[in-house]
Every structure is written in C-alpha cells, then in structure tokens.
Amino acid sequence: MQNTAEPPAKALRTPRAAGAAGILSALLLGGAMILVRRAIPERPLDAAAHLSGATGHDALRLALVLLPFGGVFFLWFMGALRDSIGIREDRFFATVFLGAGLLYVALLFVFGATAKAFVVTIDALKGSLPPTGLPHYGRHLTITLLTEYAPRMAGVFTLTTTTIVSRLGLFPRWLLLAGYLVGLVQLLLVSRIAWSEMVFPVWVMVVGFFLLVSPSERADAPDPPGR
C-alpha cells in the first residue's frame, strides 16, 4: 500500500540577519529625524523662507526619502522581536505590542505625507507670498506628528516590549532598565525636551544588535498548565 502521508511542513523561521533590521531602521529613522530638525527652523514664521532655500529644502527631501525605508525595516524589527518571544507570547501584551508598533509606523508615514505636501506647496508658491498662517500651520503639524504623537506610540511599544522580555528573561538587566527609561521619556518628556525623540532609535539600534548577536535565545517552552 502506497504511503500517501504528506511530509511535515517546515517551520518558517526568522532570517538570521533579521536583528540587523533594527539597526538599519534606527539609522534611517534617526537620520530622518535629525534632518527634519535641521530643516524646519525653531521660529514657525521662518519656515517658508527657510524651506525655499537649498539647505532646508534638500534636507527635508532627503529625510522623506529615508523615512519609508526606516518604517519598513522597523516592521522587520518587530518580526524579529516576536520570533525571540516565541510561543510564550501573551495575547494581551502582544496586542498592545503590535498595535503600538503599527501605529508608530503609520504616524511616521502620515508625517511623511504631510511634510511632502508642505514642501510641494512651498515650491508652488515660490515668487509669491504664502497665505497667512500657512508656514505656521505646516511647521507645527509636521513637528507635532514627529515629536509628540509618534514618540508616544514608540513609548508604549518600548514599555510593552520590555515588560514581555522581562517576564521571559530574554534581555539582560541593563537593557531592561534602559527600555523602561526610554519608554517613560517618550511618553512623558518628549514634548518638553528637545531632541528627546532620538532616544527611541538609539534603543532600537541596541536591541537590534542584541538580537543579531544572540539569535538562538527563544522562549519556545510550552505554556504552564491551566494558562
């Protein structure tokens, strides 16, 4: 009798280099944040004149090129983290983890679309005075998305991730403490301290490097009875 049993399916494993996605994401997102900070001046009413110049204009355009790639690599970074968590993933924390991470990327893309529209509008108005309030509105909208709303989602993502890996014992103590500190800064202080949104890409880079050099540490132990 011919054996018609199908061979067992192979498990889809995260590529070994997936942790490098965190490093690439941190470099691209951090670079984009620095360029945006340098491109958009502190005084809102100077935004149109500044962006009309070559320096501010080119810096913001380069930031908008880097931003989507940083978001894509961040999604790979989230996948690498979930692979490290393994089957012990808690559904409650997993929901918050995924929701915060996806909202962070979505807000970055909304920021990118808004900033792109702002730049195109400024280009179209070259040689004429912009409508009253346009530079003020455009500057505040782009900066608020990048430095207030997106970082707060990053803070939720960081705190949730740190709590999950703390329960499973996947990260060293110093990295757990750094994660809680970064999460609290993003949630509570990001709108008060200039450039504080940069601590999140730094944390992503450190975690990505840790995942890259420790690819075999997974939480694949079965759940305890009754869970």
Residue 172 token pair: 């060293």
Other CB atoms within 10 Å distance of the CB of residue 181: 14
Per-residue buried b or exposed e for 161-179, using 16+ beta carbons within 10 Å of the residue's own CB: bbbbbbebebbeeebbebb
Residues 6+ apart with CB under 8 A from 121: 130, 134, 138
Compute the mean pLDDT over every residue in the chain, rounded to the nearest whole number: 78
This prediction's pTM: 0.79
* pLDDT recorded at residue 175: 94
Question: By percentage, how much of the chain surpasses pLDDT 90?
Answer: 31
pLDDT digits (tens, 9 = 90+) for 160-179: 999 998 888 888 999 999 99
Question: By percentage, how much of the chain surpasses pLDDT 70?
Answer: 71
* pLDDT recorded at residue 102: 94
In 3D, which of 52, 34, 42 has the Cα closest to residue 119? 52
**For the residues of the chain, what is the DSSP string, one character each?**
----PPPPPPP-PPPGGGGHHHHHHHHHHHHHHHHHHHHS-SSGGGHHHHHHSHHHHHHHHHHHHHHHHHHHHHHHHHHHHHHHHGGG--HHHHHHHHHHHHHHHHHHHHHHHHHHHHHHHHHHTTTSPPPTTHHHHHHHHHHHIIIIIHHHHHHHHHHHHHHHHHHHT-S-HHHHHHHHHHHHIIIIITTTSTTGGGHHHHHHHHHHHHHHH-TT----SPPPTT-
Averaged pLDDT, 108-134: 73
| Among the ranges given (84-93, 97-106, 130-139, 150-159), the one the predictor scored with the smallest mean pLDDT | 130-139
Averaged pLDDT, 193-207: 90
* pLDDT recorded at residue 82: 81
Residues in the chain: 227
* pLDDT recorded at residue 184: 94
Question: Using CA atoms, how far apart are residues 177 and 158, in angstroms rounded to an integer?
Answer: 11
